[in-house]
Amino acid sequence: MCEVLLDVQHLTHYFKINSKIKIRAVDDLSFQIRRGEIFGLVGESGCGKSTAAYCLMNIYRPFSGKILYRGIDICDPKAYRRNKKMLQTSRQMIFQDSASSLNGRMKVAEIIAEPMEIHHIRPPRGSLRREAEFQLHYVGMEASYLDRYPSQLSGGMRQRVAIARALTMEPALLIADEPVASLDVSIQAQILNLFKHLQSEHGFSILFIAHDLSVVKYLCDRVGVMYRGRLVETAPSGELFENPLHPYTKALLSAIPCPDPRRERHRVWQEYDPALFEWPGEMVEISPDHLVRKGEEKIEN
């Protein structure tokens, strides 16, 4: 359980707007994902969560820093080429918007089987169609959907097809970029159960990116809170929700809407004023596994 699957060290990624302006999307990001755990990455929009995920998938080439996946530095072109097949099959990504990440001109069966075709993997269940059928069943859909197009499916179903596609490769690491953000509550519950099942039954490691904190609290083992491209706090999820230390985390937690009208009406949410705190400060380990970025204002422990 303690084996480190993915080790991100000082990852930095800039976007150049022009010769003068650079946007630091991800700035000195370091965290680890252990085998078989669900790591949640939360933060407001534009804080660099998705950019970090893209770097981990080799979609963006990071400006500096190291990403070690099973000990292989995936940012090093040589090392990447040598292990290309392993890296491409054992990491899979699920995108936020399933409507645009599925090819509208391919049928569900083709979409799910495509990764196998690309990597010339012989389908373990006989044919590609049988494989697609199996994966579709696995995510809780009937075989009758195999010949549908993505536009004929509802949002929840499309998201499941996207998950099924990622599962065909039986990845060791699944990167899910806001997979439930656009779904209804009842469908969201089904997808979250599926993630939980994947972790407990198949030992998947999952990087779960979200902005809905009640989802993160339910699903994740460890959580990292991002702000302005940097991590401000990482902790086991129980610890983070009971004992948040960084002011930004506190502000974020106080904004979770809770389905209880009497308490909701009196809830005061705290605002985080970045001007009050020294930035960036340094990451300090408070207790085992609980790291906080310390700023000017003292954190009382």
Does position 258 bind another protein by CB under 8 A? Answer: yes
Query: Residue 137: which H helix or E strand, with range?
Result: helix 128-138
**CA 244 to each of CA 20, 47, 114: distance values in angstroms, whole numbers, following the listed order:** 37, 19, 43
105 counts as binding another protein under rule CB under 8 A: no
- Binds another protein (CB under 8 A): choice among 18, 19, 144, 186: 186
Residue 297 Cβ vs another protein, minimum distance, rounded to whole Å: 18
Closest CA to 277 of 242, 250, 243, 238: 250
Q: Are strands 282-287 and 290-294 parallel, antiparallel or unpaired?
A: antiparallel
Looking at 189, 283, 286, 299, which residue binds another protein (CB under 8 A)?
189
Question: Does residue number 152 form part of the binding site for another protein (CB under 8 A)?
Answer: no
Restricted to residues 13-72, the positions that interact with another protein (CB under 8 A) are: 44-46
Question: What is the nearest approach in angstroms of another protein to the Cβ of residue 116?
Answer: 29
- Answer yes or no whether residue 117 interacts with another protein by CB under 8 A: no
260 binds another protein (CB under 8 A): yes
C-alpha distances (whole Å) from 101 to each of 1, 93, 158 are: 32, 10, 9
Q: Does 255 bind another protein (CB under 8 A)?
A: yes
Helix, strand and coil in the chain, % to nearest 5: 40, 25, 35
Beta carbon nearer to another protein, 164 or 253: 253
CA atoms within 13 A on the CB side of 170: 8
Distance CA 268, CA 299 (A): 21
Q: Closer to another protein at the Cβ: 113 or 153? A: 153
User: What's the closest the beta carbon of residue 150 comes to another protein, in angstroms?
Assistant: 16
Residues found near another protein in the complex (CB under 8 A): 44-46, 154-155, 184-190, 192-193, 196, 211-215, 217-219, 237-238, 241-242, 251-270, 272
